[in-house]
């Protein structure tokens, strides 16, 4: 059970310090938004490259951008150890995954709430993680969409059938009150933005989330 705090709602004027606050987490989740794929603009390659150099934990880039075929491998080259592209924006997902792995990153595919998993199950052999969005991508601090839990279950079952080390990530509205449902449904990597950065003690929030998730092992 891994916790990947999202820096989206952290203090962007002090990102290095904000990364230090989550030194006990498994990953730092970096939400890249381009104002086209989603109606918000955050940060891009130069900032991610700088963060990778100072982060105490590996970076988990979540690319909410158009044309991931062109841009995703650059995030792996920039030092992100996991790079997630949205299937809705991908032209050739197999090629993206191949390029990410060749650049030394784990390759992950994200699904928006309205996107079904079924048509993409055949991509599993090329992937290291599937991200099931539990909010509409674009902003932090939104309410958890429990109607995505059947999809989490479906992905977990497909991963179990397929075998191998494929992680199932949830992102959006994950908190102490929703993480157990996610773990129970089969998620094993949990992104939490406001639940971690909104807490006075971010390290304590991370360990509480990890403890709650660990109550529902699925292996
Ligand atoms: O990708 C996204 C939003 O698009 C997420 O990573 C959120 O930023 C998580 O924030 P919370 O919902 O946990 O506040
Ligand atoms: Co995200």
CATH number of domain containing 88: 3.20.20.70
Query: Would you say residue 41 lies in a domain?
Result: yes
Determine which residue's CA is closest to atom 7 belonging to ligand 1: 140
Domain membership of residue 73 (yes or no) is: yes
Q: Would residue 106 count as lying in a domain?
A: yes
The confidence score (pLDDT) of residue 31 equals 98
Would you say 70 and 101 are in contact if contact means Cβ atoms under 8 Å apart? Answer: no
Residue 219: per-residue pLDDT: 57
In a domain, residue 131? The reply is yes
Please report whether residue 219 resides in a domain: no
Parent domain of 18: 2-214
Binding-site annotation: residue ranges for substrate: 6, 62, 138-141, 171-173, 193-194
Buried b (16+ CB within 10 A) or exposed e, 173-194: bbbeebbebbbebbbbbbbbbb
Question: What string of pLDDT tens digits covers the 219 residues of the chain?
Answer: 999 999 999 999 999 999 999 999 999 999 999 999 999 999 999 999 999 999 999 999 999 999 999 999 999 999 999 999 999 999 999 999 999 999 999 999 999 999 999 999 999 999 999 999 999 999 999 999 999 999 999 999 999 999 989 999 999 999 999 999 999 999 999 999 999 999 999 999 999 999 999 999 875
Cβ neighbours for 133, distance < 8 A, ≥ 6 positions apart = 110, 111, 112, 113, 148, 170, 171, 172
Catalytic choice (26, 31, 60, 99) = 31
* Cβ of 192 below 6 Å from ligand 1: yes
pLDDT at 70: 98
Structurally, how many domains does the chain consist of? 1
Asked, for residue 102, whether it belongs to a domain, the answer is yes
ipTM greater than 0.95: yes
In this prediction the pTM is 0.98
Query: Would the CB of 191 count as within 6 Å of ligand 1?
Result: yes
Domain for residue 157, yes or no? Answer: yes
């Amino acid at each position: 059970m891994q916790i990947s705090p999202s820096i989206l709602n952290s203090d962007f004027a002090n990102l290095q310090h904000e990364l230090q606050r989550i030194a006990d987490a498994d990953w730092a989740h970096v939400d890249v938004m381009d104002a086209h794929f989603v109606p918000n603009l955050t940060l891009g390659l130069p900032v991610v490259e700088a963060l990778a150099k100072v982060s105490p934990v590996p970076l988990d880039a979540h690319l909410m951008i158009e044309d991931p075929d062109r841009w995703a491998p650059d995030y792996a080259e920039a030092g992100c150890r996991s790079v997630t592209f949205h299937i809705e924006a991908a032209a050739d997902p197999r090629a993206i995954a191949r390029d990410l792995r060749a650049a030394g990153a784990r390759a992950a595919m994200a699904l928006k709430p309205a996107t079904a998993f079924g048509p993409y199950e055949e991509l599993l052999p090329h992937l290291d993680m599937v991200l099931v969005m539990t909010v509409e991508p674009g902003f932090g601090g939104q309410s958890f969409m429990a109607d995505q839990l059947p999809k989490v279950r479906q992905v977990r079952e497909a991963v179990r059938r397929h075998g191998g080390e494929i992680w199932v990530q949830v992102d959006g509205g994950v908190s102490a009150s929703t993480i157990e449902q996610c773990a129970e449904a089969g998620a094993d990597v949990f992104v939490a933005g406001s639940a971690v950065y909104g807490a006075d003690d971010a390290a304590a929030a991370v360990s509480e989330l990890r403890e709650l998730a660990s109550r529902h092992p699925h292996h």
